[in-house]
Structure 1
Amino acid sequence: MTIAVCTLFEGHYHHGVAVLVNSLAAAGYEGTVWAGHRGPLPEWLTRRAGFERGRARLQVTSRLALQTVALDPPWSLNYHKPAFMRELLHRVPAADAVVYLDPDLVVKCAWSEIEAWLAGGEVALIEDLDGALPSDHPRRQQWRQFFAAHGEQPQRPLERYYNSGFVGVPRARADVLGHWQRICELVAAETGNVLRQRKIGGPEHPFHSTDEDALNFALSLSLAPLRTQGPEAMDFMPGGRHLSHAVGAAKPWQGRHLRGALRGRPPSVASQAFYRFTRGPLASLSPLTLVRRRVSMALATALGRVYRRR
């Protein structure tokens, strides 16, 4: 099965891209990782031997390449996920499916497990930390009222809420991406097209989680079958083995692990997984910085076993 893999990044998230690519190489993914970006590329990439400036491409290993694509949409890159995924299905006509991965995420399982997940032709999704959002929930009612004014009518009720950090769509279900892109554009227009927008207002806001809310409404516009997993598949809960997602404002590549542990916030499982994959073909941090960060991580993890803010 041929799967086109992509991510989006800007600012310091390039550190996450390096480790995501390392994790994909370790998982056995073969092919091109397409990385759309806003702003200049990082020097660790452009100065690396073998980087093709004219093509903005690096052959990372004999079986995996990193292809960057400069982007500048009029809204946050969070809203650009479905458009970029649709573009890849056109750019890579041999692809049977497209998978989007956030740059603060790593792949822990063998890539063959991801392929098997998509082999049945369903849309692959993972529930968010709080995955329950019943079809009669007030938030869904707000969505229905807002989008009805734009001619959007749900085709089915949904009871669960899915994280947009991992979305796998077979080519035959590409209509889901069309719905998601359309809804993203409506939400972006409603909320002001802020270029670096992630959360809006408080949890009571109907589009507090922006592109994620758009995804979850868009899924109700299609009858495409879903193949889903629980929040443990992103390490939001214990027991997962597939992915690890470092959600939240503080990212593992920014360090300050011991400082956080002293305040009762020890490193998450996802932060620890990030450092596992800093050992790989791509390195965005210097060897000295990595040594310091790993020591900080080890001390913070040990402290977290005895001290944690309730």
Structure 2
Amino acid sequence: MAALLNSLVENGFVGVFAIGWRGAPPPWLDALESHPDGGWRVGAVRVRLELLDTPWLLAHVKPSFMLDLLDRLEPQSTAVWYADPDLVIDAPWAFFERWALQGVALCEDNCFPKLAPHHYLRRAWTSFAHEHLGLELDAAMSCGFNSGFVGVRRNDRVFLETWRRALELLPSIGVPLNQLKPGTRVDPFHGTDQDMLNLAALAHAGRVSSLGPEGMGFSPGMNVMWHAADAPKPWRRHYLVDLLCHGRGVGNAHRRFWDYAQGPVRSWTDLQWRCRRLSLWGAVVLSRFYHAAS
């Protein structure tokens, strides 16, 4: 979360950074300057902490939290963005503001960037939407989106309402919401929050503005964000051990995470950060010889 916040500050974000949490709050908050309106301040960014009191996995309250920000917590705001905490922003924030003006801002997924209208999952979601929500889905849209980032302007809030309604109905058909990925991908609702985001996009009568997998750094091109979607996450990964034991190299998302991990918000001591960076770059250099000798 600290790296994401640092990336926003460095790229010119001005606004409110709301952290939805449960359990112990981030310890690095104590080192931040207080904001006169409550919460904390990092440059031009106000940081606020909001307790999410729910038995569900927090991934499944994304649309509810975003609607709460629009309706109660920040009623003067014109737009709300959600980002997973394993993601960093890597383009000027002005780009993201222009992007959301074109419609609901979404990025295509790395696993299912394309879903033809006759795809099994599309057929299953269409039946669910018709039977349980009374909605028809757009047969022309052929993209599959990642739920790790979404930008919604206030006049597109119906997108969030549909996403929330679809998620709330899943327990009624036996899909639990206290797990991230119940079942397997052969089940119609394995990705849960992401599947229902796709349903909301397909049902949205307004405009959607999307980037391909390159938007999150899943493929080369227009890399405006980096999403370390693979496991283990950057803060849990031991890069040299991973390379030597599993032959796993270091992707750009991990490199950019550590570039932003030490900024105005410090969740690591200088020594911890330097050791992690040394391990990462040692693995990067060694992997060149490793692959050459393989």
Do the structures match in fold with TM over 0.5?
yes
Q: How does 1:71-86 map to 2 (within 5 A)?
A: 71-86=52-67
1:50 CA drift (Å): 3.2
1:214 aligns with 2:203: no
Report the alpha carbon displacement of residue 49 of structure 1 after superposing the two structures with TM: 5.1
Specify the code of the residue in structure 1 equivalent to 2:27.
Answer: E
Match of 1:48 among 31, 34, 55: 31
Q: Structure 1 residues 150-159 or 176-185, which shifts more?
A: 150-159
TM-score under structure 1 normalisation? 0.87
The letter for the 1-side match of 2:67 is: R
Letter in 2 for 1:237: S
- Which sections of structure 1, spanning at least 5 residues, go unmatched? 1-16
Which structure dedicates a bigger proportion of its chain to helix? 2
SS at match of 2:54: coil
Structure 1 residue 160 corresponds to structure 2 residue 175: no
Q: Could you tell me whether the CA contact under 8 Å between 1:266 and 1:303 is conserved in 2?
A: no
Aligned residues of 2:159 and 2:200 also touching (Cα < 8 A):
yes
Q: Cα distance, 1:277 vs. partner? A: 0.5
The one-letter amino acid of 1:214's match is: M
Change (3 A) 1:185 1:32: same
When the two structures are superposed, what TM-score results if normalisation uses the length of structure 2? 0.92
Q: Does 1:249 align with 2:231?
A: yes
User: Which runs of 5 or more structure 2 residues have no equivalent in the other structure?
Assistant: none
Q: Deviations over 1:70-109 (max 9, x none)?
A: 1122311111000111111112222221111111100000
Task: Give the distance between the partners of 2:32 and 2:68, measured in 1 at CA.
Answer: 29
CA distance in 2, matches of 1:285, 1:117: 33
| CA 1:49–1:170: 2 relative to 1, 3 Å | closer
* Percent identity of paired positions between Structure 1 and Structure 2: 36
- Is 1:155–1:223's contact at 8 Å kept on the other side of the alignment? no
After superposition, what is the alpha-carbon deviation per residue over 1:96-126, rounded to whole angstroms, capped at 9, x for unaligned?
Answer: 2111111110000000111111223x11111
Q: Tell me which residue corresponds to 1:58.
A: 40
Q: Contact 1:152/1:221 (CA < 8 Å) preserved in 2? A: no
User: Which residue does the alignment assign to 2:12?
Assistant: 28
Question: Is the Cα–Cα contact under 8 Å of residues 87 and 225 in structure 2 kept in the other structure?
Answer: yes
Counterpart of 1:191, as a letter, is V
- Equivalent residue of 1:224, what SS? coil
Q: What residue is the counterpart of 2:251 in the other structure? A: 268
* Aligned partner (choices 271, 278, 283) of residue 261 of structure 2: 278
Q: Which residue of 1 aligns with 2:156?
A: 173
Count of residue correspondences: 287
Contact 1:104 1:247 in 2 (8 A): yes
The alpha-carbon distance between structure 1 residues 143 and 246, as it changes in their structure 2 partners (threshold 3 A), is: same
The question of whether the paired residues in 2 share the 8 Å contact of 1:100 and 1:167 is answered with yes
Per-residue Cα deviation, 1:29-76 (whole angstroms, up to 9, x for no partner): 01210111011103222x325357x95x21122x11211101122311
* Residue 114 of structure 1 pairs with residue 122 of structure 2: no
CA contact (8 A) 1:187 1:214 kept: no
Tell me which residue corresponds to 2:216.
234
Query: SS where residue 290 of structure 1 aligns?
Result: helix
2:241 aligns with 259
Question: Which of 252-261 and 183-192 deviates more?
Answer: 183-192
Deviation string 1:149-195 (CA, Å, 9 cap, x unpaired) is: 3243224222110011110111111000000001111225532231x
* Pick aligned residue for 1:103 from 85, 95, 108: 85
Computed over aligned residues only, the root mean square deviation of the Cα atoms, in angstroms, reads 2.0
Q: Is the 8 A contact 1:79 1:188 kept in 2?
A: no
Letter in 1 for 2:268: L
Change (3 A) 1:270 1:103: same
Q: Quick check: 1:75–1:188 contact (8 Å CA) kept in 2?
A: no
Deviation digits for residues 179-214 of structure 1 (CA, Å, limit 9, x no counterpart)? 0001111225532231xx222222211112110001
In the alignment, residue 44 of structure 1 is paired with which amino acid? W
